[in-house]
Amino acid sequence: LANKKFHVGSSVIKVGNCEIGGNEIVIMAGPCAVESKEQLLETAHAVKKAGAQILRGGAYKPRTSPYAFQGLEEEGLKYMAEAREETGLAIVCEVTSIQAVETAVKYVDMLQIGARNMQNFQLLKEVGKTNIPVLLKRGLCATIEEWLNAAEYIMSEGNTNVVLCERGIRTYETATRNTLDISAVPVIKSKSHLPIIVDPSHATGVRAYVPSLAKAAVAAGADGLMIEVHPNPSCALSDGPQSLNPDDFFKLCSELKPLAEVI
């Protein structure tokens, strides 16, 4: 179902009022985690002003350490829905369990499957039974073939609204958190009709490198970007070092605009 051979043209996935895979570069931005109503609303207004179309924010956080902040769960989803009401932005949230899917479908415009759950086949089937668009992140050590098979798990349950997200893979390089596989963009375009976006924040783990890779992704033909933005990155409860502040995000968006027009 994800294979280009058996599909006419490229898929355009509608999320809220925006279309991913169409002519426009879609930007999803927001904090790694929803921390409070104030933090989220401040970020939502800032990313909207800069030109983002979708607000991201984690309510269920799959952290490397069990002692790290795990997310506000349903309370976080409620704040996300409030931010949508205030700004008109569509919202995307990660789900980490079948119970989280049951709760999240009441609130979100797009469900996110994180890198760590890319091969959680029960979870893939569960989001495949919904009719809500799914953002499927590439697993930390997944090949492109495994990633497309994960998309197939979702689509074979009936939900064909899948958007892929390259977020960096594990390599021997330690200068960045992961290594952005920029070639995944043209490879996916050659194999699949599904849209692909790039997440330079999780790919690098370093805020200073995010703008370069965001531009590289657009130049390579990505349909959109996911970027972490926090009103005060040094106080963030998760992923502060890779989060842009609102001013830097605004600057990046203004630099991306002419590039997106040329491409």
Query: Looking at beta carbons only, is 114 or 233 nearer to ligand PEP?
Result: 114
How many residues at the interface with Mn ion, by CB under 5 A? 2
Select from 23-31, 37-45, 113-121, 152-160 the region that touches ligand PEP (CB under 6 A).
Answer: 113-121
Query: Looking at beta carbons only, is 8 or 28 nearer to ligand PEP?
Result: 28
Q: How far apart are CA 136 and CA 150, in angstroms?
A: 8
DSSP E strands in 88-200: the ranges are 90-94, 110-113, 134-137, 162-166, 196-198
- Token couple for 34: 């929803």
Burial state string for 36-70 with b = 16 or more CB within 10 A and e = fewer than 16: eeebbbbbbbbbbebbbbbbbbbbbbebeeeeeeb
Q: Is 137 in the site for ligand PEP (CB under 6 A)?
A: yes
Select from 40-48, 83-91, 102-110, 111-119 the region that touches ligand PEP (CB under 6 A).
Answer: 111-119
Query: Minimal distance in Å, beta carbon 146 to ligand PEP?
Result: 15
Query: Minimal distance in Å, beta carbon 135 to ligand PEP?
Result: 9
Q: Is 167 in the site for ligand PEP (CB under 6 A)?
A: yes
**Out of 109, 166, 239, 248, the residue judged to bind Mn ion by CB under 5 A:** 239
Phi, psi (degrees; rounded to nearest 5) at 196: -130, 135
Query: Minimal distance in Å, beta carbon 170 to Mn ion?
Result: 16
Window 4-33: contact mask with Mn ion (x via CB under 5 A): ----------------------------x-
CB 115 within 8 A of CB 107: no
Query: Looking at beta carbons only, is 7 or 121 nearer to ligand PEP?
Result: 121
Query: Looking at beta carbons only, is 51 or 62 nearer to Mn ion?
Result: 62
Q: DSSP label at 261? A: H
CB 42 within 8 A of CB 232: no
Burial class (CB in 10 A: 0-12, 13-18, 19+), 261: exposed
Q: Is 202 in the site for ligand PEP (CB under 6 A)?
A: yes
Name the residue type at position 4.
K
